[in-house]
């Protein structure tokens, strides 16, 4: 009968001890943090930075690949059997140089036929323009009513040629059609020779002498004044094709790093900051440490992606809209190759010789910006400042500070700990599984020990 009072006494003692432990822990915690708030400027818990002069840069980042507008995929405009191939991969060629030829026999035959049709059309037009002479005049050439007395005969005037307007229009149309056919046939003959539209290096040759190659303007042959000859729709002796977003293809591919460009995708937020003429740097992913100078040529007003991003600029995500910018490389391009992947940084803001502080030292937004100025005695004073260029790591200060002053960079408390140093209430409240008062369960006051 005496055991029950002892148990009750033990529980009461443990409860009193728990309250005392809580009170002591809370007081200690308050004392420690009270001391921190009074000496944070000089105790090392908050960093201090000096107001300095320098260059403040604001940039946006994107990714893309190198392209060359001078790259070209070349094809014959007139198809046929290759009779000559004058170049091989690796050869350097000049603009206008002959690269290859196909058999021109059929194209020349078509040209001769069309030239004959043109001659006939010219003769027909001349005949129509001269008109038709009447077969007879309808008179013996004299008329007299003088009763048999012969009178001097009056000469018959020459008939005036008559021109039928409809026949004239038709003849003129036939002549025009015949001339067009000759012009097309001549282009087809010229299209049997492939020349380099630009200088560069031969990257590939897809066929050899004796092979049959297709023409880019059809293979039909026209005759008798028709304009359907081979190459009839072509205006040059060779056809080139290239794409800014893919490798060019053709019978012969020429590459040329001159005028090398880079096309890069930027997030919608960053794209709004990009303008033509802004400076940029291009880093090649295949050559770490290589940095090329570039300049923005244009920024597209149409999105290039809205579903899956391509790893573009800062702030981009898999579902973010991106816009393509075209930049020209101003550094030497001699050793560059089309298709190399690159990272691009465009300078969207710059201030030289500017007062600046770390971005983390500035609080507020818009026109309401402040910093904590650290005095010689370690005390801090909140001071209004005006921010100019907001850089990547530093902000330009146009008013409110002077060079050499010190500002405090607030310490950001780690998240998820509720403000307590160890992430839990002092003494272990809420984390002491299985330990507590009188066996009250998984949550209790650490160190209580007794009660089980």
Alpha-carbon gap, residue 445 to 433, rounded angstroms:
9
Alpha-carbon gap, residue 410 to 40, rounded angstroms:
9
Task: Give the pLDDT confidence of 25-46 residue by residue, as tens digits.
Answer: 444 443 333 333 333 444 446 7
Q: Is the pTM of this model over 0.75?
A: no
Torsion of CA 189, 193, 196, 197, to 10 degrees: 10
Whole-number pLDDT of residue 164:
87
Whole-number pLDDT of residue 158:
59
Whole-number pLDDT of residue 148:
44
What's the order of all strands across the beta sheet hosting 200-205? 92-93, 200-205, 252-255, 72-76, 238-241
Per-residue CA distances from 205 to 91, 98, 231, 433 (Å):
11, 14, 22, 76
Identify the bridge partners of residue 241 per DSSP, sorted by sequence position. Answer: 73
Give me the half-sphere count of Cα atoms (radius 13 Å) on the Cβ side of residue 193: 9
Whole-number pLDDT of residue 371:
96
Whole-number pLDDT of residue 61:
95
Q: Decide which of 71 and 266 is more confident.
A: 266
Whole-number pLDDT of residue 434:
40
Task: Give the pLDDT confidence of 223-237 residue by residue, as tens digits.
Answer: 333 333 333 333 344
> Mean pLDDT throughout 62-89?
92
Whole-number pLDDT of residue 413:
59
Task: Give the pLDDT confidence of 294-334 residue by residue, as tens digits.
Answer: 999 999 999 986 544 444 444 444 557 999 999 999 999 88
pLDDT tier, 13 (very low <50, low <70, confident <90, very high otherwise): low
Q: List the single range of 96-105, 158-167, 416-425, 429-438 with lowest mean pLDDT.
A: 429-438
Torsion of CA 396, 402, 408, 412, to 10 degrees: -10
Tokens for 138, please give them: 């309808």
Alpha-carbon gap, residue 352 to 394, rounded angstroms:
12
Alpha-carbon gap, residue 38 to 365, rounded angstroms:
27
Q: Contact at 8 Å (CB) between 11 and 449? A: no
pLDDT tier, 367 (very low <50, low <70, confident <90, very high otherwise): confident
Share of the chain above pLDDT 90, in %: 52
Identify the bridge partners of residue 284 per DSSP, sorted by sequence position. Answer: 342
């Amino acid at each position: 009968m005496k055991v029950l009072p002892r148990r009750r006494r033990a529980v009461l003692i443990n409860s009193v001890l728990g309250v005392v432990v809580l009170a002591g822990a809370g007081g200690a915690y308050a004392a420690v943090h009270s001391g921190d708030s009074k000496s944070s400027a000089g105790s090392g818990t908050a960093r201090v930075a000096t107001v300095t002069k320098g260059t403040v840069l604001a940039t946006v980042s994107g990714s893309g690949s190198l392209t060359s507008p001078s790259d070209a995929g070349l094809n014959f405009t007139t198809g046929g059997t290759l009779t000559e191939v004058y170049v091989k991969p690796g050869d350097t060629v000049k603009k206008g140089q002959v690269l290859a030829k196909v058999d021109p026999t059929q194209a020349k035959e078509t040209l001769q036929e069309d030239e004959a049709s043109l001659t006939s059309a010219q003769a027909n037009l001349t005949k129509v323009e001269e008109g038709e002479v009447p077969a007879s005049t309808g008179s013996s050439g004299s008329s007299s009513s003088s009763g048999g007395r012969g009178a001097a005969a009056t000469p018959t005037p020459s008939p005036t040629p008559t021109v039928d307007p409809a026949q004239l229009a038709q003849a003129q149309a036939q002549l025009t059609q015949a001339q067009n056919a000759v012009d097309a046939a001549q282009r087809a003959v010229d299209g049997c020779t492939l020349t380099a539209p630009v200088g560069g290096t031969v990257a590939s040759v897809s066929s050899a002498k004796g092979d049959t190659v297709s023409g880019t303007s059809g293979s039909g042959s026209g005759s008798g004044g028709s304009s359907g000859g081979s190459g009839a729709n072509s205006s040059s002796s060779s056809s080139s094709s290239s794409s800014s977003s893919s490798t060019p293809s053709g019978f012969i591919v020429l590459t040329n790093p001159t005028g090398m460009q880079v096309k890069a995708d930027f997030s919608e937020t960053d794209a709004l900051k990009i303008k033509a003429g802004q400076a940029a740097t291009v880093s090649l992913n295949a050559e770490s440490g290589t940095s090329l100078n570039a300049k923005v040529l244009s920024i597209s007003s149409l999105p290039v992606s809205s579903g899956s991003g391509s790893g573009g600029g800062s702030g981009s995500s898999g579902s973010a809209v991106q816009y393509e910018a075209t930049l020209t490389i101003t550094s030497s391009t001699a050793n560059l190759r089309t298709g190399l992947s690159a990272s691009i940084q465009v300078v969207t803001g710059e201030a030289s010789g500017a007062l600046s502080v770390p971005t983390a030292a500035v609080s507020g937004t818009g026109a309401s910006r402040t910093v904590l100025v650290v005095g010689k005695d370690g005390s801090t004073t909140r001071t209004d400042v005006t921010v100019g260029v907001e850089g990547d790591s530093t902000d330009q200060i146009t008013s409110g500070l002077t060079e050499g002053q010190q500002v405090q960079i607030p310490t950001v408390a780690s998240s998820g700990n509720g403000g307590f140093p160890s992430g839990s209430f002092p003494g272990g409240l809420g984390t002491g599984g299985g330990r507590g008062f009188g066996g009250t369960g998984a949550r209790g006051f650490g160190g209580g020990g007794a009660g089980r």
